[in-house]
Structure 1
Amino acid sequence: MNPFSLMTCIITILLFLVCSLVCVAEQSELICSHQPIVALVGDDVILPCYLDPPISASSETVAWTRPGLDPEFIHFHHNGRLMPQIQNPSYYLRTRLFVDELQNGNVSMKIFRVKISDAGKYFCFLESMLKEASIQLTVGKSDFLKMMNYTLW
C-alpha cells in the first residue's frame, strides 16, 4: 500500500471520529433542576446539573458562576483540577465537583457550610461545548423553619 494512501486513510478515520464526538456533544443538553434547591444555613447542598444524554465531561472546563460577584467564579475546574486563584474568596474551600462522575456527564457542584449570602441564581458552563444551565438556591435559617412548624401545627 502506498504510504500516501495509508496516511489519507488514517486522517479520514480520525476526522470521522472527531466529527462523531462533536455531533454527540451538540445533541446533549446541560440540565439543572428547574425547582429551587432549598437549604438551611450551615448545611451542605448539591446543585444538580448533568448532560443528557450523558457524555463525558472529564476533559471539559466546568465553570460555576454567580452573577453580581467579583470574581463571579464559584468553582472553576480546568485540566482536571480546581483553579482556586480565580475562585471568589467567599467560596474558597467550600465547593467541589464530583470528579469521578464527570465521565458520566455529572457536573453537579456541592457547596459546604451554606451561608445566607449564598442564596441566588447559579450558572453552570461547559466551555468547549458552549452549554449553559442555571439553578436557584434558596437559603433559610433554622429559626424561620421552626416558626413555620409551630404555625402549621
Structure 2
Amino acid sequence: MEGLKVEWRKKDLEHLVHLYEDGESQAEAQQQNYQDRAHIFTDQIQHGNFSLRLDNLRAEDEGEYECTVYSQQESVFSAETILEMKLL
C-alpha cells in the first residue's frame, strides 16, 4: 500500500518497537531490544490489521504500546494497548 506507514512505540520509552514503511518492515529503525522479536502481519495490512507480535517476551516488555498509522504523511489512526504479564 503506497504511502502507508505504521509505527508501534512503547509509551514509557517513546522508542520505536516496529516500523513498517515503503511496503516493508524497517528493522534498522527499531530499538535494538526489539530487533528480531517485533513483527507485524504484513499479509493482513490490506485488511486493516496492524497487530504487533512480540516474540521471546521479557519482563521489561510489559507496559503500554501505541500504534499510529499514517497515509500520505497524515495520521489516520491511532490506538493504544496494554501488555500485562503474569509469571506462572
Which TM-score tier does this pair reach, normalised by the shorter chain? 0.7 to 0.9
1:86 is aligned to 2:29? yes
CA RMSD in angstroms, aligned pairs only: 1.4
1:61 is aligned to 2:40? no
- How far 1:82 moved relative to its partner? 1.3
Per-residue CA deviations over 1:127-147 (Å, capped at 9, x if unaligned) read 2251211000001222xxxxx
Distance 1:69 1:85 in 2: 18
Higher strand share goes to which structure? Answer: 2
1:139 alignment counterpart? 85
Matches within 5 A, 1:120-131: 120-128=63-71, 129-130=74-75, 131=77
Question: Which one has the largest radius of gyration?
Answer: 1
Higher helix share goes to which structure? Answer: 1
Equivalent of 2:41, from 91, 98, 103?
98
Matches within 5 A, 1:1-150: 58-59=1-2, 60-69=4-13, 72-128=15-71, 129-130=74-75, 131-142=77-88
Q: TM-score, normalised by structure 1?
A: 0.52
Q: Which ranges of 4 or more aligned residues in structure 1 deviate by more than 2 Å?
A: 67-70
| Secondary structure, counterpart of 1:101 in structure 2 | helix
Tell me the matched-pair count.
Answer: 84
- Contact 2:37 2:55 (C-alpha < 8 Å) held by counterparts: yes
Q: TM-score, normalised by structure 2?
A: 0.86
| Secondary structure, counterpart of 2:28 in structure 1 | helix
Gaps in structure 1 of 5+ consecutive residues = 1-57, 143-153
Give me the identity figure in percent. Answer: 25
- Contact 2:12 2:64 (C-alpha < 8 Å) held by counterparts: no
Gaps in structure 2 of 5+ consecutive residues = none
